[in-house]
Structure 1
């Protein structure tokens, strides 16, 4: 049961109460691990776990989400009618700062996608009671949802997707294939993009739905990635029936829904401090390897500190601008900055460890870095490639001419594939 928020509570009193609650949760504080000792959290960008291990990780994380939510510290800035605390964003930021002092359960893409992408999208497109009823359980971690966007034949051109949905009375019948779906094997729901009008140009013939993944005709096949894990999946849909009540937004306006979700993804990527290794891990590595004594590596570490600080300043600026006029491509800028920090961390680890990165000789905090180094490049693609982000910034923020698109007004069915 969520505690009733006190909207008369000052920010300082709220922060003190949050700190007291966190102290009582039995979590180790960050930075308490002895130099050279084992990490209390993973350095992996994408998990290299068995099915049971990954399920257990998600279970620990959703348990933490529930504890936080039931104590009144979940969905802090969400409206009360949707299960939130109804407090200003500054209160959410204050809790995040307090929580960052503790080693909370490791992040997982599926939980992040549910809380930071799909639940907020359903809030924006609050169309039916059925959709609205999903939001509270998502915020509490009781229901998890994945993105059913990417397809084998669409690549970075998401609007070229070919999964079809035809209307049959008050239902839609969906057939197609999705790929690179994080966490689908553990999710209960998926946010689906499907083509409902092949005669319309590709951006205007798409409709979005929520689809239960236990529906008849849904098949999920995990994909083995180069890091060893299988967080990604193929999802096959064969004559899957979806009630119209699960449609998100208007018919033919699925691209608007997709842009909303992708906007949340870019923003959350820029804010994400739990994915892979971060500044604190790099500093710990510098101490254990003696890199602090090398002038070149010391300078690279300093550059990483500067990048991290600039990222914090940018996020603080974004938070201060919340609710005021701002460009819709700020998320693209923040994602590029975050991906660059991941790259800097990888480069530093490779130079600091040398051959120790690729040889598992039992030295603490060495071979484990391979999970970060191998996984970090994936975020140059996830949520829209770096090239897509730069196009968005160039066109929407800098006002540069749009990239020519010969198929802009061509019916999707007439586009060569």
Structure 2
């Protein structure tokens, strides 16, 4: 399957030259799905878009086509170990490629955000060789989608209180329970599952993590309808589901280490876009929108725009510090929580700015371009204060680990 064409000893400038050659040739063939995004007023702006089954299938098809072509050209996982499908290069090559790719219009890759931003790094760190060989290349090539199965109806942010139970039965585990708010579970072939395996009173020492095949018998995925009209989130019911011990991640009852690593990866993935520069958080795009409707002369509107611009600049500095820490080999720390909070605050600022600028145009679909298209963002933005760890949890982390306040 893998047709990696990059020599592992290649210099960075040669690597980027090869990457640019590939992107110049391949990207135009994958840009049609994003054609509207070239304009300063895209047809739709949403965090959790309301897609029909046909639209969702087309988005997945386009995203998968790009990932597969990119992977087969050698740029799908530059920093990954060669034995699991990667190119075996340093993380600097991967960051350089992704920075270059942002200059090109390609199909949206949001469907893979959780699988590649959270599940794959955890699987690489804690999985058995069998699990890694079974799933990692498929994840990075885009053959499969993955989801996260952490939160429960009675245990959202407090994952140490989860009730889903896994009981050892020879070389298998028997799992019963329920998960909720699982983004993309209805599209996923793999789930990162955390269960209680030990004494309920032994908080943080009674959890075990697994790589769950989502097509296993007893797995029931049910979409949750959001107020945007979309169904990005799901409930997942687990009824006598059997999981091979080969798919266990980490040691038995040591799943809290897996949880923490995943959450840090999650906050890095969720908070990464907080600095803006493109898409929803592009101040240039917002300024063009405001100018179009003659609102840039309004002092209150200009003040809101500059507050947002300043916040995005600060977020960028924080992100650069975080990236420097990762490059030095250190684990992600509380700055990941800062990034996540920054993203929710910056998106709230965008919602406020657009609401002030557009007024009734925001909620009345008059057919006027660049107006009603923002309504899905306004409705979906508050949900991000819950996803990726609630804002309250992030503030607690910063209070305790940065400010040194008592628990």
Partner of 1:409: none
Partner of 2:53: 51
Return the alpha-carbon distance in structure 1 between the equivalents of residues 207 and 288 of structure 2.
Answer: 48
Return the alpha-carbon distance in structure 1 between the equivalents of residues 336 and 314 of structure 2.
Answer: 15
> CA 1:340–1:123 in structure 2 vs 1: closer, same or farther (change >3 Å)?
same
**2:347 aligned with 1:342, yes or no?**
yes
Task: Tell me by how many angstroms 1:77 deviates.
Answer: 2.0
> CA 1:324–1:169 in structure 2 vs 1: closer, same or farther (change >3 Å)?
closer
Task: Tell me by how many angstroms 1:35 deviates.
Answer: 5.0
Partner of 2:271: 270
**2:101 aligned with 1:117, yes or no?**
no
Count of residues in Structure 1 that have an aligned counterpart in Structure 2: 398
Return the alpha-carbon distance in structure 2 between the equivalents of residues 215 and 10 of structure 1.
Answer: 44
Unaligned segments of structure 1, at least 5 residues: 404-417
Render the CA deviation track for 1:276-317: whole Å, top value 9, x for unaligned: 722144233223222222222122212222222222232223
Unaligned segments of structure 2, at least 5 residues: none
Render the CA deviation track for 1:98-120: whole Å, top value 9, x for unaligned: 22222222243x41111111010
> CA 1:386–1:59 in structure 2 vs 1: closer, same or farther (change >3 Å)?
same
Task: Tell me by how many angstroms 1:178 deviates.
Answer: 0.8
Q: When the two structures are superposed, what TM-score results if normalisation uses the length of structure 2?
A: 0.91
Task: Tell me by how many angstroms 1:63 deviates.
Answer: 1.6
Whether the 8 Å CA contact 1:30–1:102 is kept in 2: the answer is no
Whether the 8 Å CA contact 1:58–1:111 is kept in 2: the answer is no
Whether the 8 Å CA contact 2:138–2:144 is kept in 1: the answer is yes
Task: Tell me by how many angstroms 1:240 deviates.
Answer: 0.7
Render the CA deviation track for 1:22-42: whole Å, top value 9, x for unaligned: 222213799984555x44xx4
Return the alpha-carbon distance in structure 1 between the equivalents of residues 353 and 164 of structure 2.
Answer: 42
Q: When the two structures are superposed, what TM-score results if normalisation uses the length of structure 1?
A: 0.89
Render the CA deviation track for 1:187-206: whole Å, top value 9, x for unaligned: 11111111112344232111
Task: Tell me by how many angstroms 1:241 deviates.
Answer: 0.9
Partner of 2:304: 300
Whether the 8 Å CA contact 2:40–2:285 is kept in 1: the answer is no
**2:319 aligned with 1:312, yes or no?**
no
Partner of 1:214: 215
Task: Tell me by how many angstroms 1:396 deviates.
Answer: 2.1
Task: Tell me by how many angstroms 1:356 deviates.
Answer: 0.6
Alignment of 1:17-416 (within 5 A): 17-25=18-26, 26=28, 27=31, 33-34=38-39, 38-39=42-43, 42-108=44-110, 110-272=111-273, 277-279=280-282, 280-321=284-325, 322-325=327-330, 328-401=333-406, 403=407
Whether the 8 Å CA contact 2:322–2:332 is kept in 1: the answer is no
> CA 1:230–1:114 in structure 2 vs 1: closer, same or farther (change >3 Å)?
same
Q: Which moved more, 1:347-356 or 1:50-59?
A: 50-59
